[in-house]
Structure 1
Amino acid sequence: MLVGLDVGTTSSKAVVFTAAGRPVAQGRSVTPWTTTVHGAEMDPTAVLDSAREALANALAEAPDGTVVAVGVTSMGESGVLLDGRGAPLGPVIAWHDTRDRAEVDDLVATVGAGPFARHTGLPLRGQWSLTKHRWLLNHHPQLRDATRRLNIAEWVVRGLGGEESAEQSLASRTGWLELSTRTWWPDALDWSGATRALMPELVTAGTPLGRITAEAGLPRLTGAVLTVAGHDHQAATVGVGASGPGDELDSCGTAEALIRTVPIGLDGAAVEKLASAGITTGWHVLADRWCLLGGTQGGLALQRILALLGRTSQDLPDLDREALARDEPPVTISGVDEDVLTVSGVGSGMSPAHLWRAALEAVTAQAAHVHSAMSAVAGDHHTLVVTGGWARSQALLEVKRRVLGPLRSPAVDEAGARGAALLAGLAAGVYADPAEFPALD
């Protein structure tokens, strides 16, 4: 058996799979964020304990058999600073925390949005690791004694007994990695107060990184091969079989993320154009390819409209049928990616189905804008796979088909964990290469 662990923003999800890629057990635990005067952060030891709890919960439900390997994927940007003995020195800042506004402003003034995007593949905004690192050094002087910096999945693998590493898709979310050369960018390191020595060896997801030790406190996993399975969005592309050139995953959760796999080699102008549209370009979890990632708040907008209508997810089948039976409504919804939604054109004869149809059209138009921005630079997509909680809406899938073209929507609950498990199988030799990964039923 194989285990995939997805350490996410709200929870850690551990899923046990057969070598054929079928889930047989799962466990979950809450990601232990706390709110301080500065913002959202957590104790590195607490997130490691949470990961262990999710694994233990999954194993308690798993059938008899040997677990061969464990892969760990996680949210990006957040990281852990360690001393020479491997002990954490300070808090993990949440990737979405905004305490680093002054650092972002300084980076804009010092480096500039265009050069930053060309070097890193990232839009210059307050999300990436380097500005949070500089904030930490300015506010926690003891962190200047750190000798190692790890991303969350890398920290969990180390805590389970594995070797230290810097996985390339997670490294691409830091602002320190130069996209074109796949090496650490000296100017970004210097600006943030980091050094090359702080960074472990760069690896690709699926690289074997030792085995789980008895000290991890998970007896059934002792001896299992460990690997870092990279950034959660990219791991999900592996989990649903959408990681070939031109494949695109549309993950429809509270936030909607579009992840497209592309060949290496977009030039600086193309990368900067993507960044100006809010789209990141980075190294993929799989070798020899890049990944484009853009997003909207489409799922959140749908939640707001559903609540406005006094409906719940249980009402979706009926609401979807009614919405599809209507012509495109005169009512429009704007502000999908803003704090306030604006509904216009409400007249007599309007029904909940009209408003729901308008919401589906609005969020799909927003996703199509990101999709088209990718295609304008990288060419047409090859296949489109739609997953996530909102993929259960048949009306949303129908609107997406009309706007974006043919798609498939496989039945998979934890795509990131499945991708992590398959990459664990690669690390352990269960699969000789990604071409052997089992397809979804």
Structure 2
Amino acid sequence: MSRERVVVGVDVGTTSMKAAAFALDGRSLGEASVVTPWNVGAGGETDLDVERLTRDFIDLVTELVETTGTQPIGIGITGMAETGVVVDEHGAARHRAFAWFDQRGAAELDDLPPNLRDAFAGTTGLALKAECSLSKLLWLQAQGFTINTGDVWLNAQEFLGFRLTGTRATEPSLASRTALWDQDGRPWTQALDLIGASQDFIPPFVGAGTSLGVVGDGCPESMQGAVVTVTGHDHLVAAIGSGAVGSNQLFNSCGTADVLVRSVPWVIDADSRAQLVAGGLSVGRHALSGHTAVLGATRFGLVMERVMAMLGVNDHAERSRLVNAWQNEGSGKDVVSVSEPGGWVNEVRISLHDTCSPDEVVAAAIDYGIQSMRGCLETLTSVTGPSDQVIAGGGWAQLDGVLRAKGGLLAGLSRSAVTQPGVRGAAAFAGIAAGITDEELTRELARHVQPPGQHPLQQQKETVS
């Protein structure tokens, strides 16, 4: 009996690595997940072994296709940005991959020459913070690490693609989070000079939906022959998976991190990039070819999680009741206020000024989230103009009260019904890489990407043995 052909999307996330198999008509046929294998040091230093990550990835996909009895024709890989490794000319990772939130390199980044500090935001579209890959490379350099001829930088998803196909390549939206790339369309040579690297340190760009090659015979038979594509930064791919695939659309990912993703079909100039960064946003290439993505994040979801935990409310129905009791901004501010200390501290402060009810505490938390989002949105629209459509997805978007509260800021807000948008978006790109452009899963996305193709610089296969 022949197996049903599917495309697999994999999201390499901070907490877990999730995979799902999709029929070409868009049906989800099964899911699987595994905990991301971080090692946490005594001082909070967090990193992982990319070879272990590769083994877990292969085991995860193999488990998924065996459990569902399917045959993958394409595998799309998305996930967290700013986590990667230096790979030598023989294909070996030269160090462990630092978590994006690991603060190693913060001091070295603070010591950047004034000309690089001044140019940083406008050039990279990023804030001068330790999350970027440059920070980790500066820290390695301070420990005596040197970049050799033939070395390249691969983000975690790109390393997985390399291990599966033997192709070294850079996906543009991931490159945008490294601080090694000038958003005007070239390597940032000043940053590369600082770490002793040439422009060859960044492999050729290969966009989402373009095949890096096929899974070779070093992997389990059930995976062999599937085309592989690296689909980019998870927030952007989740926007696509939720249906925000067109130009001038805004996606609101309503998770613990509450993220606004705005796509525009042009390159934002350096002065505007600096303006957006100063307002707390970031700018880079979108997973959609020819588009720029502007990202803004608040801690709306984190605040809501902390407040609900404080109140001892874990039941969905009770959370929904409390949120739905919100009427309008300011309904709880006379008796309770919510704040954060700022900086890199996941702390939420609740101040009770008088006797108050759980409804009023939750209302104040929603107010705080709306106020945070308002400032982010005002900065965003001052550069990009208003969006044509707004789509919300993620856990908190499933509560009507949250959607209603946000609807006062985001005109025309609609809710996406997709529960795992990251893996769905990655799977859709995998279908396009496999040449499937006129099926339910891929048809809309295919209208917004370049025709599928094979990466032209594929070299000899260096697959997992």
Shorter-chain TM-score range: over 0.9
Give the structure 1 partner of residue 168 of structure 2.
164
Contact preservation (8 Å) 1:176, 1:185: yes
Q: Deviations over 1:372-427 (max 9, x none)?
A: 21001110112111111211222111101123222111222211111111111111
Residue identity opposite 1:288 in structure 2: G
1:175 deviation in Å? Answer: 0.5
Contact preservation (8 Å) 2:15, 2:35: yes
Give the structure 1 partner of residue 353 of structure 2.
346
Residue identity opposite 1:268 in structure 2: A
Residue identity opposite 1:391 in structure 2: A
1:344 deviation in Å? Answer: 4.2
Secondary structure at the aligned position of 1:272 is classed as helix
Distance change (3 Å), C-alpha of 1:316 and 1:211: same
Aligned match for 2:373, one of 367, 370, 386: 367
Report 1:229-378 matches (<5 A): 229-314=231-316, 315-324=318-327, 328-329=331-332, 330=334, 331-335=336-340, 339-344=346-351, 346-348=353-355, 350-378=356-384
- Decide which moves more: 220-229 or 334-343: 334-343
Matched-pair identity in %: 32
Give the structure 2 partner of residue 135 of structure 1.
139
1:165 deviation in Å? Answer: 0.5
Secondary structure at the aligned position of 2:214 is classed as coil
CA distance in 2 between partners of 1:95 and 1:362 (Å): 26
Residue identity opposite 2:120 in structure 1: F
Secondary structure at the aligned position of 2:248 is classed as coil
Give the structure 1 partner of residue 228 of structure 2.
226
CA distance in 1 between partners of 2:357 and 2:24 (Å): 49
1:233 deviation in Å? Answer: 1.0
Give the structure 1 partner of residue 116 of structure 2.
111
Residue identity opposite 2:65 in structure 1: L
Give the structure 2 partner of residue 35 of structure 1.
40
1:183 deviation in Å? Answer: 1.5
1:285 deviation in Å? Answer: 0.6
Alignment gaps of 5+ in structure 2: 1-5, 448-465
Report 1:34-113 matches (<5 A): 34-36=39-41, 39-62=45-68, 64-107=69-112, 109-112=114-117
CA distance in 1 between partners of 2:205 and 2:315 (Å): 43
Distance change (3 Å), C-alpha of 1:19 and 1:300: same
CA distance in 1 between partners of 2:328 and 2:121 (Å): 45
CA distance in 1 between partners of 2:302 and 2:358 (Å): 18
CA distance in 2 between partners of 1:325 and 1:171 (Å): 41
1:184 and 2:191 are equivalent in the alignment: no
Distance change (3 Å), C-alpha of 1:326 and 1:246: closer
1:436 and 2:440 are equivalent in the alignment: no
- Decide which moves more: 143-152 or 299-308: 143-152
1:264 deviation in Å? Answer: 1.5
Q: Hey, which of these two has a bigger chunk of helix by percent?
A: 1
1:211 and 2:214 are equivalent in the alignment: yes
Q: Deviations over 1:139-161 (max 9, x none)?
A: 25366476222011111111122
Residue identity opposite 1:122 in structure 2: L
CA distance in 1 between partners of 2:438 and 2:373 (Å): 36
Aligned match for 1:153, one of 151, 157, 170: 157
Contact preservation (8 Å) 1:30, 1:50: no
CA distance in 2 between partners of 1:146 and 1:41 (Å): 24
Contact preservation (8 Å) 1:159, 1:216: no
Give the structure 1 partner of residue 400 of structure 2.
394
- Decide which moves more: 185-194 or 270-279: 185-194
Contact preservation (8 Å) 2:391, 2:414: yes
Alignment gaps of 5+ in structure 1: none
Secondary structure at the aligned position of 1:260 is classed as strand
1:328 deviation in Å? Answer: 1.8
Distance change (3 Å), C-alpha of 1:53 and 1:310: same
Distance change (3 Å), C-alpha of 1:372 and 1:34: same
Secondary structure at the aligned position of 2:414 is classed as coil
Secondary structure at the aligned position of 2:33 is classed as strand
Give the structure 1 partner of residue 203 of structure 2.
200
Distance change (3 Å), C-alpha of 1:60 and 1:373: same
The two structures have a TM-score, normalised by structure 2, of: 0.88
Contact preservation (8 Å) 1:72, 1:153: yes
1:123 and 2:127 are equivalent in the alignment: yes
Question: How many matched pairs?
Answer: 434
1:75 deviation in Å? Answer: 0.8
Distance change (3 Å), C-alpha of 1:120 and 1:247: same
Distance change (3 Å), C-alpha of 1:413 and 1:53: farther
Distance change (3 Å), C-alpha of 1:271 and 1:93: same
Distance change (3 Å), C-alpha of 1:224 and 1:140: farther
Give the structure 2 partner of residue 417 of structure 1.
423
Distance change (3 Å), C-alpha of 1:326 and 1:297: closer
Secondary structure at the aligned position of 2:409 is classed as helix
- Decide which moves more: 355-364 or 37-46: 37-46
Residue identity opposite 1:322 in structure 2: A
